[in-house]
Structure 1
């Protein structure tokens, strides 16, 4: 690994770290596309199909955009502007991935009167986060981390109190992987391959959440009763 850089500069990975950054998310692009298709084919109504594709789009976009950014960053040469654009997209897509990950639960599970507003509030938060990245990308890194954390945890206040609790343990486990991974997200220059390790925690969290969505919202033997819409 290279030396740690000041907070106002971006860490420059070694070639080995670049390769690991690319591989640790590229490997999940095809599985995410196949998994999204599976949810679509197991959907029984329009809301399930819409939720499946919204979630699938967020999941596959996360791994695809991340892989493209890290590939360009590795082979950039004179592509400074392109790299910057992909870096912004890499940060923006995280907000939409978080919103998309909550979408199946918020759309397909029974929610209380106030909690139902979270269905659109998560997208307002995603749009706000994207706007922040557009104007203040890499300027206040700690603020970005706080925004990701708040958006990841705030909708859980609704999910945790749903009348149907099946899948809650998997949701908590996946969230734990994300939270543990953030330690490595901020450890470039301290821990070798820190960003690649962060990618692995993201993949683990996403895999656990996908399993929960498939098992408790889509798989025929475990389909819960849907709320009237």
Structure 2
């Protein structure tokens, strides 16, 4: 561990026990802020594009839901990491934003599924999953409220279950367009989770996790834009 401190002192601090929160270095704090702040404006612009491409009220509502989830993720993450970096006597505020940062991930997952559950013809469970995915997000919120940072493995499993369970319905799509992009985006999220738990083992681990999240979100956004909101897709849906 001394070797790590000597070699990576500016870029990584000592790993902490599972019941404590890792304290990033100044460089890691800056990277954590930048890697998600960079995507706030693009996420807002991209969400607005979906809104203007909407052909009916249901598409408009879905664009708003997805847009709030996408931009909310990057915004809350940036706010939390900024407060964490610049804190002085703001321990309570930092803790609050950390909880919000964890909670918004659940709603981002639910919002990411909304376009597929609302706009694509799915199997018989689709209607139930439209509200069940939000119940999962609410359950995650309650968990964070009562058990924040206590059981990190349970937290990781909870995020994974929330992300995978609705996918079982998505696989029932009669129209398979977009399924490849959904799978690729899921792979990026899954690979990023390796870094999510690697603070103190890999320099800039959390910032790398942020990059994987941004890439996964970008691929999923492309699939939603390309297969659910483009004029060509709208014409195909109208002709059916």
Report the counterpart of residue 16 of structure 1 in structure 2: 27
Counterpart of 1:225 in structure 2 is 237
Alignment match of 1:173 (pick from 184, 201, 214): 184
1:222 deviates by 2.8
Q: Within the alignment, does 1:151 sit opposite 2:157 as a pair?
A: no
Residue 92 of structure 1, aligned match among 103, 117, 130: 103
Q: Give how far 1:77 is off.
A: 1.1
Corresponding residue for 1:206? Answer: 217
Give 5+ residue unaligned stretches, structure 2. 1-11
C-alpha displacement at 1:115, in angstroms? 2.7
The number of residue pairs the alignment matches comes to 227
* Equivalent position of 2:3 in the other structure: none
Residue 83 in 1 paired to residue 94 in 2? yes
Structure 1: gaps spanning 5 or more residues = none
Q: Separation in 1 of the partners of 2:17 and 2:29?
A: 20
Larger Rg computed on CA atoms: 2
Q: TM-score, normalised by structure 2?
A: 0.93
Name the TM-score, length of structure 1 as normaliser.
0.97
Is the counterpart of residue 103 in structure 1 residue 114 in structure 2?
Answer: yes
Separation (CA, whole Å) in 2 of partners of 1:164 and 1:4: 47
2:125–2:169 contact (8 Å) kept in structure 1: no
Please give the alpha-carbon distance, in whole angstroms, between the structure 1 residues aligned to 2:15 and 2:98: 19
Q: CA-atom RMSD, angstroms?
A: 1.1
Query: Which residue does the alignment assign to 2:53?
Result: 42
Counterpart-to-counterpart distance in 2, 1:5 and 1:114: 43
